[in-house]
A and B are shown apart, each in its own frame.
Chain A
Amino acid sequence: MQTLMKNLVWVVVGIFGAACLGGIALNRGETINAFWFIAAAAGIYAVAYRLYAGWIVATVLSADPTRATPALRLNDGRDYVPTHRWITFGHHFAAIAGAGPLVGPVLAAQFGYLPGTLWLLVGSVLGGCVQDMVILWGSTRRDGRTLGQMARDELGPVAGAAALVGTLLIMVLIVAVLGLVVVNAMKHSPWGTFTVAMTIPIAILVGIYMRVLRPGRVLEGSLIGLVLLLAATVGGGWVAESPTLAPLFDYDGPALALAVIGYGFVAAILPVWLLLAPRDYISTFIKLGAILLLAFAVIILRPDMHMPAVTRFVDGTGPVVAGHIYPFLFITIACGAVSGFHALISSGTTPKLIASEADLRLVGYGSMVMESFVGIMALIAACVLDPGVYFAINSAPGVVGATPEQAVATISSWGFPVTVETMTALAKEMGETTLMHRTGGAPSLAVGMAHIFAGAFGQGLIALWYHFAIMFEALFILTAVDAGTRVGRFMLQDLLGNIYRPLGNTGSYVSTVICSALFVGAWGYFLYVGVIDPNGGINILWPLFGISNQMLAAIALAIATTILVKQGKLRFAWVTGLPMAFLAVTTTVAAWQKLFSADPRVGFIAGADTMAAKLEAGTLSAAQAAAAPQLIFNQRLDAGLTVFFILVLWVTIIEMVRISLRHTQGKSVPPLSEAPYVAMDQLTPRMAGED
């Protein structure tokens, strides 16, 4: 009877979530309240977590709470530590939650609120959450082995190498595109630039506090850092108003790009305790705090969404990211629904903390549910803006026209009325000189968040809320730049060490400097070209990043599918196999269009050829002509990269199919590398630690 009641409750929750989603989908009024999005999301997540994830854990993965996890078997008090499931959840969520799910949904809002909402919900519960959880399970069963090692063990050396090189290239693109987002947010914004610049001395101060003054007291240090950062956010307002100080923090894109590149290099070779670790502590607290604050504000304010359900830009002419809704909705949203990068975290530190296989669902599936919810909130923040304002902020000068008058005329002609006066007044309200052409998603997200915060907590401080939002985004983007460069440097040292042994020595200062410079040079190149591109750079770099990220997700799901087949779970292989097939096809279609589309804003080759033709005909301005050769070369390079990504993807999938077929035919395959079963109660108390 009790079970019946429980199931009935879940059925009701499911019907409620589905009804909210149906209401959203069928709504054709002028506006719709954000509350329905929160309700639909909560209902769908709850049912998926309870029923689908529960079924996968019990039936497909046969998770066994009596099986001792590596944290218990190998407990060394350092890497392997059995940890309470909520604390592991906190660590894992803090690790996977980055800028991606904030930026992607904001850019995808150009298609309207409906496509983004549907994919964030469906993609996460059927794809992203499943991937994170199954990889976490696979790694936990393999003593916490990494994705690359699992690829090599289960699929062979070819797939292993493909996963490794693919990962290194993704790191380059992630850091470049996030750098571009932060540069576009600071461009000609003394307030933003001052606040972001101040995060560096503040982090160093906190670093010294945590190491020298009060070693290891990370909460005290973080609190000091938070207070100083909020003071810097307020102080930025004074700087922006001061005629002597403001020019010191007023830079154009290329200058800021060079500053970020220089910063990235210095941060990568400085000791971790001085800059990276303290910055990460502060940024994690600000990140979680800002996300909670946003959720709270959306729930108490319940703003109306002004973006239409579906816009005309589903046809591929979108000014934010060019390309048809299929495949580019999926490529643009990326991390909020499915992120291949999470597979690296799920096979990194997290599996070494899992105390029981019963925790896999909360940590693996639950964290990704939260991440998708962050994506929904970012989408809400973008859609509460007037669509005309949203497009004026997010469209590049090369698409809508370089002057404010041209830009608003173009955007209004699309049926999204906006005026120069509106944009000027908005910029003034936010304490900025202009908000036009601020591509990259961060400024529009910050305007949306500022509206929501101000609406919920009082209108007076809207400029401060805007810069708080910019600071919050920039802070953890710069943490990603530091951390990404550091990991990239390690990967490069590892790789180059095979060619010339001394380069592989991670303790060597010379090798560190050389490999850091190489890695920073790689992402710095893409960042710089993105900044000088009149089409905004984001239009090229974000889809390229999305393709690489979804490619990695398909690779991770291919590894997961192989493991399931080899475990004799062929009839359940669709759980990872279907999302893998969808992502592989979508990524390949996207890559094909990025290569061969005749639209110069979509196709890399067409883009390069069009620009080369213009350069030859002499129709470009002097400034455009100077940048043109670099942009032409860059689009051809991007085309080459795209081909490479697709090759890596299909090599892995072919290996997966080959190994699976051989297994079903009873031929020899690489053996399952799963660690043998050890019962929980066979462990000595000492091995099990004191937890």
Chain B
Amino acid sequence: MMAGPAGFLRTAWTVLREVSGDSAYETYLARHAVTHPEEPPLDREAFYLSELDRRWSGVNRCC
């Protein structure tokens, strides 16, 4: 996976996208296609809003 500097950068980019939630929609689509192929998936905006709603309904930031 980590072959040379290019491989390292690619891994870092993947991690950054995943940690920040930038790739969350793609992950969701891939999963949705496996688990609920019969239902149409949420669009990007609806998914983003539902993610925010989930994340900000509990304690997720500290002093």
* Interfacial residues, chain A to chain B (CB-CB below 8 A): 77-79, 84, 86-87, 90-91, 94-100, 146, 174, 178, 210-212, 215-219, 222, 272-273, 276-277, 280-281, 335, 339, 341-342, 344-345, 348-349, 479-480, 483-484, 486-487, 490, 506, 545, 549, 686, 689-690
What are 6 A-B interface contacts by the 8 Å CB criterion? A211-B49, A212-B45, A280-B61, A335-B63, A344-B59, A490-B58
Are A216 and B30 closer than 8 Å at their CB atoms?
Answer: no
How far is A273 from B52 in the complex, measured between Cα atoms in Å? Answer: 7
Q: Contact check: which of B24, B51, B62 meets A345 at CB < 8 Å? A: B62
How far is A100 from B30 in the complex, measured between Cα atoms in Å? Answer: 39
How far is A87 from B12 in the complex, measured between Cα atoms in Å? Answer: 11
Is B3 part of the contact surface with A, judged by Cβ < 8 Å? no
Are B20 and A219 closer than 8 Å at their CB atoms?
Answer: yes
* Interfacial residues, chain B to chain A (CB-CB below 8 A): 15-22, 24-25, 28, 30-32, 34-35, 43-45, 47-49, 51-63
Q: Which residues of B contact A96 (CB under 8 A)?
A: 62
Q: Which residues of B contact A490 (CB under 8 A)?
A: 57-58
Are B63 and A219 closer than 8 Å at their CB atoms?
Answer: no
How far is A362 from B35 in the complex, measured between Cα atoms in Å? Answer: 31
Q: How many Å from the CB of B7 to the closest CB on chain A? A: 16
Q: Which residues of A contact B25 (CB under 8 A)?
A: 216
Q: How many Å from the CB of A491 to the closest CB on chain B? A: 9
- Besides A77-B32, A98-B63, A490-B57, 20 other A-B contacts (C-beta < 8 A): A78-B54, A84-B18, A100-B62, A146-B58, A212-B45, A216-B47, A218-B20, A218-B21, A219-B16, A219-B22, A222-B20, A272-B52, A339-B63, A342-B62, A345-B60, A348-B60, A483-B56, A483-B60, A506-B57, A690-B31
Are B63 and A341 closer than 8 Å at their CB atoms?
Answer: yes
Are A276 and B56 closer than 8 Å at their CB atoms?
Answer: yes
Q: Which residues of B contact A276 (CB under 8 A)?
A: 56
CB-nearest residue of chain B to A83: B18
Q: How many Å from the CB of A204 to the closest CB on chain B? A: 15
Q: Which residues of B contact A219 (CB under 8 A)?
A: 16-17, 20, 22
> Which of B19, B44, B60, B62 has the largest count of A CB atoms less than 10 A from its CB?
B62
Are A215 and B15 closer than 8 Å at their CB atoms?
Answer: no
How far is A349 from B60 in the complex, measured between Cα atoms in Å? Answer: 7
Are A273 and B49 closer than 8 Å at their CB atoms?
Answer: yes
Query: Known: A280-B61, A342-B62, A344-B59. Contact between A216 and B18, CB under 8 A?
Result: no
Q: How many Å from the CB of B41 to the closest CB on chain A? A: 11
Q: Which residues of B contact A277 (CB under 8 A)?
A: 52, 55-56
Are A341 and B22 closer than 8 Å at their CB atoms?
Answer: no
CB-nearest residue of chain A to B25: A216
How far is A215 from B43 in the complex, measured between Cα atoms in Å? Answer: 9
Q: Which residues of B contact A95 (CB under 8 A)?
A: 60-62
CB-nearest residue of chain B to A76: B35
Query: Known: A90-B19, A211-B48, A211-B49. Contact between A686 and B62, CB under 8 A?
Result: no
Q: Which residues of B contact A486 (CB under 8 A)?
A: 56
Q: How many Å from the CB of A592 to the closest CB on chain B? A: 24
Are A77 and B31 closer than 8 Å at their CB atoms?
Answer: yes
Q: Which residues of B contact A549 (CB under 8 A)?
A: 63
Q: Which residues of B contact A211 (CB under 8 A)?
A: 45, 48-49
Q: Contact check: which of A217, A272, A348 meets B53 at CB < 8 Å? A: A272
CB-nearest residue of chain A to B32: A77
Q: Which residues of A contact B43 (CB under 8 A)?
A: 215
How far is A369 from B27 in the complex, measured between Cα atoms in Å? Answer: 31
Are A210 and B60 closer than 8 Å at their CB atoms?
Answer: no
Query: Known: A277-B52, A690-B30. Contact between A217 and B22, CB under 8 A?
Result: yes
